[in-house]
């Protein structure tokens, strides 16, 4: 049985995720702060298989928690949850090994979709480090064609961590968000791509 840690200061999010995960027969541990999460991890480090981590929390934000997790030598997959996605957050968290992003508010169907894609990706050696942004971008294009949008976005955010100045990456992230009907995020990433286009013209 896989053990999952949920870290979020909002009770409703913890309850929603716990329900989704328990239905899939995961063992769930919850923490309502970054400090509590780190204490749990110190005690159960080798037994946690997956972490859901909120970015915006009081006292200690998710990026700080993720840095501490990696400094402990813990390499388990981390899913970032945020209602305030920024390019900087995406870059910072991707560099630290975040494997997926859940934009709040999210549905149980979205949670299940992310879980399915992550563990399919794991089976394809997703965690083998790839430093070639062009390979990641080309993989993402194929995945978009196959409607594997979560996996495509993971590849694109890894590419973004390698080169945050590639306008095509922002355009493709916009396309992913457009396909999942996240129009606000799509518009934002298209605007960033257009900004790079103007700077280079």
Q: How far apart are the first and last CA of the chain?
A: 54
Burial 152-179 (b: 16+ CB within 10 A, else e): bbbbbbbbbbbeeebbbbbbbbbbbbbe
Q: In terms of pTM, does the model score above 0.75?
A: no
Residue 11's contacts (CB-CB under 8 Å, 6 or more residues apart) are 32
Q: Where are the alpha helices (DSSP H) in the chain?
A: 11-23, 34-44, 62-71, 87-95, 108-123, 133-145, 149-162, 167-179, 183-200
CATH number of 1-124: 3.40.50.2300
Topology match between the domains 1-124 and 129-201: no
Distance CA 108, CA 184 (A): 21
Query: 81 phi and psi, to 5 degrees?
Result: -115, 130
Distance CA 92, CA 21 (A): 27
Pairing of strands 78-82, 3-7: unpaired
Radius of gyration from C-alpha coordinates of the chain: 17
How far is CA 71 from its chain centroid?
19
Environment class of 21 (CB within 10 Å of its CB; exposed 0-12, middle 13-18, buried 19+)? buried
* Mean pLDDT, the chain cut into blocks of 10 residues (201 residues total): 91 92 91 93 79 90 89 85 69 74 83 79 45 81 87 84 84 92 89 75 50
CATH superfamily ID and name for 129-201:
Tetratricopeptide repeat domain (1.25.40.10)
How far is CA 61 from its chain centroid?
15
For residue 120, the model assigns a pLDDT of 65
For residue 125, the model assigns a pLDDT of 45
Residue extents of the structural domains in the chain: 1-124, 129-201
């Amino acid at each position: 049985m896989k053990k999952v840690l949920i870290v979020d200061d909002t009770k409703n999010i913890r309850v929603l995720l716990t329900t989704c995960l328990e239905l899939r027969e995961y063992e769930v541990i919850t923490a309502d702060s970054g400090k509590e999460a780190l204490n749990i991890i110190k005690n159960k480090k080798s037994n946690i298989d997956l972490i859901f981590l909120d970015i915006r929390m009081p006292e200690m934000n998710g990026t700080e928690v993720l840095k501490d997790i990696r400094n402990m030598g813990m390499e388990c997959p981390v899913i970032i949850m945020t209602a305030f996605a920024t390019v900087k957050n995406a870059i910072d968290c991707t560099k630290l090994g975040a494997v997926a992003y859940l934009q709040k508010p999210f549905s149980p169907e979205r949670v299940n979709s992310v879980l399915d894609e992550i563990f399919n990706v794991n089976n394809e050696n997703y965690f083998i480090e790839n430093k070639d942004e062009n390979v990641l971008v080309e993989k993402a294009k194929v995945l978009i064609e196959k409607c594997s949008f979560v996996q495509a976005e993971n590849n694109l955010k890894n590419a973004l961590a390698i080169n945050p100045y590639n306008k095509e990456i922002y355009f493709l992230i916009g396309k992913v968000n457009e396909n999942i009907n996240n129009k606000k995020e799509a518009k934002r990433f298209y605007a960033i791509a257009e900004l790079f286009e103007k700077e280079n013209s």
